[in-house]
Structures are given as C-alpha cells and as structure tokens.
A = this chain, B = another copy of it.
Amino acid sequence: MDENRLKAKRMGIDAQRKCVAYMSSSCHVCRAEGFNALSRVRLTVGERHLIADLNICQESIIPEGHIGLSEKAWQLLDCQPGQAVSVAHPLPLASMAKVRRKFFGHQLLQADYEAILFDVVAERYSDVQLTAFLAAASKDMHEEEITALTSAMVAVGEQLSWHRGPVLDKHCVGGLPGNRTTPIVVAVVAANGFCMPKTSSRAITSPAGTADTMETMTQVDLSLNQMRSVVAREGACLVWGGAVNLSPADDILIRVERVLDIDSDAQLIASVLSKKKAAGAGAVLIDIPVGPTAKVRTDVAGERLASTLKAVGERIGLRVHARITDGRQPIGRGIGPALEARDVLAVLQNRSDAPGDLRLRALQLAGDLLELGGVPVGEGFRRAEQTLSSGEALRKFLAICDAQGGFREPTKARFKHPVTAARNGVVRDVDNRVLARLAKLAGAPATQSAGIELHVRLGDAVIEGEPLFTLHADTRGELTYALAYLDMQQEIFVISEEEAS
C-alpha cells in the first residue's frame, strides 16, 4: 500500500484540540481511497495510529504528495516535517455497536465499557460519537452498571499505589461557586501526618476547579514522577489529575461535557470514584452541597447520590463517607481561580478578614477526614482547628507549593466593575447558577484573575447604591459580555424591602 503514503506537513492549526487531517482535493490518495468531505481517516506513523476528521482543501494549501496535520494530530503521531504518514479508511469502530445497544436501553457490562473507553482513550471517537456515548450512559444507570463503568474507567488508565496508609482523599460534587476547601483540608490533614496525594480537575461547568485555583499559586501539571517525589517529601500534593494520566477517558469525556453543561449522576459517580481509586485512595470523603441553585437541589437527591456513591465505592473497594452540606449560597468571597485562591490564603494565614464560612466548612471536612484516618470520633474538628490556628496548616501548604515548583501570589484583574443594590432591604436569596455563568462570561477559568468578588451574604441588610459584588475581568470585551448578560437577568440577589431584623 505504498501509494497511500504522504508526507507530513504541520498546519499550525489548533482544531479545537481535535485530530484533523488536511488533504488536497486533487490528492491521488483521496481519489484512490474514495475519501470525501465527511470522511474520517486512519493515520499511521511507525507504531502510532489515530483517527482524524478529514478536511478537504484547495490544491494551493497542501503541496502535492503531502498531508496537513492539526496540532493535536501532530503531537500524538510525534511527527517530523516530511515524515511518511500512511493513510487508510478507519476500520469499523466495533465498540460503537455497544453504544447503540446502550442507547436502545440494554445494560452494558464492564467488558463493554472497557472496549468503548479503550477506543475513546485512543482518540478514535469523534465528538458526535463521544456525545452519543455520554448521553446513552447517563440514562437508566443503576448501581451495578455504574460500578461496571467506574471499574472500566480505572482499567483503561494508570493506577497508583503508595505503600503507606491510610491514604485519604476528598471530593466536592461542585455546583457551589467558591467552595474551595480542598487546599485547606489537604494542608490540615497532611500536617497531621496522613497521606493525601490529591489530584484535582480543572473546571467542567463551573468558573474554577481546584486545579485552576492551585495553578494561580504554584505549578499543578506535574508528571507522575514529580507527583511521587512531592508526596514522598510532604505526604501530600495538590496537582492536576489530567497531567498524570490517571483517568484519561474522563479527561476526554470532560471536553464534551464542558460544551453540553450536562452532568448526570452516573457520569459524576464514575468520574469521581474512578479517579480516587486510580489515585490509590483507601477512604474518600465526599462533600455534597445541597441548595435550590446548587448542583444537587434537594436533600432527597443528596441522600440518593450519597447512598449510590457509598454502594459503588464498596463494590470497587473504596470506603466512602459523604457529608451533605449547606449549598444555599457561595462559600467565601471570591468566584474564579485567583479570587478563590485569595480566600484560601486568608484562611490559612488566620487573617481577621478571612471568610468565616470557608474556614468553618474546611475544618468540618478536615475533621471528618482525620476521623476516617483514625483520629477518635468526635476529636476530628478540634484537632483540625488546632492545626489551622497554630499556623501548622499554612506551613504545610507552603511546603507543598514549594515542592511542586514554588509558591507565587495570585494575579489581579485589569478591569473591575461594582454592581450595586437597587434598593434598601435584606438579601433574601441568591442565584448561584447565574453567578457562575457571569463569572465564566467574565473570563473564568481560562483567565485566572477573572470572576466575581462578593460583598454581601444572605441575611445582610443593604442600602440602595451599596455594592453587592464586583466583576473582575482582564479584557474589556469579556467585561462587556458579562455586563450584557447581567442586563438580561432578573435580580441575582433578591432584596426584600422589609426592615433588617
């Protein structure tokens, strides 16, 4: 099949992080193979294969005998300019038959999910196929099948073991802006001598993930070896999970979930528990904030999620403790990577202006974890409080940042815009979803310094013209779009006209 070899040309195009091949409409391989504008093609360089979307180009763009590659394809094939690339029709993707079976209501087994996720990790699924899988595997998922999906996600990635115990971990199911307890909790737990090799995600549908927040203060894209040496030195780390390849399937699925803004319980549980299992944890604390505009809206839904998390955890050999927390309003003052980092530092530094709600929430979670690790039940909270007040937690946090490449101060935004109360009254309600959307339009999480700084909380009395919150943006365009969105909304803060009590 020598006639199907073409020379690699780096196009210098980032095609939304996808693999794209650019071929000339007059190319002999296109004609010989019957490729057309909707084809996907299988590319081979040495031992490396991938499937790419084919974009047909005018002759002038691609020199004769060449094939253009997007940045992602160029990296995955590890190409040199002019290197030979073999081009063929992709083999029929057998695992899509399993996706169709699930779509039409059949239950899949772990082996089915492994077959699908193996192809997903090999970048053989197009966005359309990935979305179909996510949609199919989000419906009619019960304990047994969620376990199968979770185990498959662990199986297609790397799995760590730490040879020390107990290894503790935590996760917040999200949906509550600014709920950035993790850096504080890790610092407290590690300062008490427990092992907590924490990997975090970047934001999926929120304005900041813990990895985004930590990245404003230190390096988070550590390799597995770098992560191991940080944990060996400090007993803990705070890194981005994607760079250590613990759950490569999840990282690809998240690309699609981010666009859809849809999280299902099944995908959430599989994503969270597979990451924890792969990271080598033995016991996990799950924080489930419940509130009318949080991700989980009712106590019943929270309890159901907690119970499925525990059951699936048990089936895969993971002790899970879930805490339902108050998710009625944001935690702390900042929403967005750098603004949340400032809140975290204020708490760790025991500053008088530190947000009390964030401090309390972090101490409760740290206390739970200490008890999961072996501290006598009823003693956890007090132990955590001592560790924080004494400055031990701050020292541990800075030591972890130092081990990860050094501590730096979070940046500040170039543009600020205060939004004020339209009348006198008491703050009765706040819409977390609109706040999150607003922070994202202002540029979070891609722009570290962007987001929202809150000045009031539920129950506060405000007077007309007093600032409720301040928008932070790093470009004028983003500030403009956030303000345009704000104009379209009803009140984000509901202010009742009755007297403050």
Binding site for B on A (CB under 8 A): 4, 11-17, 20, 22, 31-34, 36-38, 53-58, 60-61, 88-89, 92, 96, 100, 103, 126-132, 135-136, 138-139, 255-256, 258-262, 437, 441, 443, 446-447, 450, 473-478, 481, 485
Contacts and interface: CB of A to CB of B under 8 A. Distances in A.
A-B interface, 6 closest residue pairs, ranked by CB to CB distance from nearest: A12-B58, A135-B135, A131-B131, A33-B477, A34-B478, A14-B56
A184 to B, nearest CB: 30
Contact of A135 (B126, B136, B255, B441): B136
Nearest to A33: B477
Contacts of A138: 103
15 contacts: A12-B57, A13-B57, A14-B55, A16-B55, A17-B38, A32-B475, A33-B475, A33-B477, A34-B473, A36-B446, A127-B128, A128-B128, A128-B256, A131-B135, A139-B139
Contacts of A130: 128
Nearest to A476: B32
B38 A16 contact: yes
Contacts of A260: 96, 100, 128-129, 132
Contacts of A476: 32
B34 A474 contact: yes
Nearest to A260: B132
Contact of A16 (B11, B37, B258): B37
Contacts of A60: 12
A102 to B, nearest CB: 11
A34 B477 contact: yes
A20 B485 CA distance: 25
B56 A37 contact: no
A85 to B, nearest CB: 16
Contact of A131 (B38, B128, B258, B443): B128
Contacts of A33: 475, 477-478
A53 B31 CA distance: 28
A447 B16 contact: no
A247 to B, nearest CB: 20
Contacts of A34: 443, 446-447, 450, 473-475, 477-478
B36 A92 contact: no
Nearest to A37: B14
A127 B135 contact: no
A249 B193 CA distance: 60
A260 B125 CA distance: 11
Contact of A259 (B56, B128, B450): B128
A13 B22 contact: yes
Nearest to A22: B13
Contact of A89 (B12, B261, B450, B477): B477
Given A12-B60, A32-B476, A34-B443, 5 more contacts: A13-B57, A34-B473, A34-B475, A128-B260, A131-B132
Contacts of A15: 20, 55
Contacts of A31: 475
Contacts of A485: 92
A13 B55 CA distance: 6
Contacts of A54: 16
A61 B11 contact: yes
Contacts of A126: 127, 259
A16 B33 CA distance: 17
A2 to B, nearest CB: 13
A36 B89 CA distance: 32
A103 B485 CA distance: 25
A43 to B, nearest CB: 15
A258 to B, nearest CB: 7
A103 B88 CA distance: 37
B57 A14 contact: yes
A61 B14 contact: no
Contacts of A88: 477, 481
Contacts of A36: 446
A22 to B, nearest CB: 7
A233 to B, nearest CB: 34
Nearest to A474: B34
A99 to B, nearest CB: 8
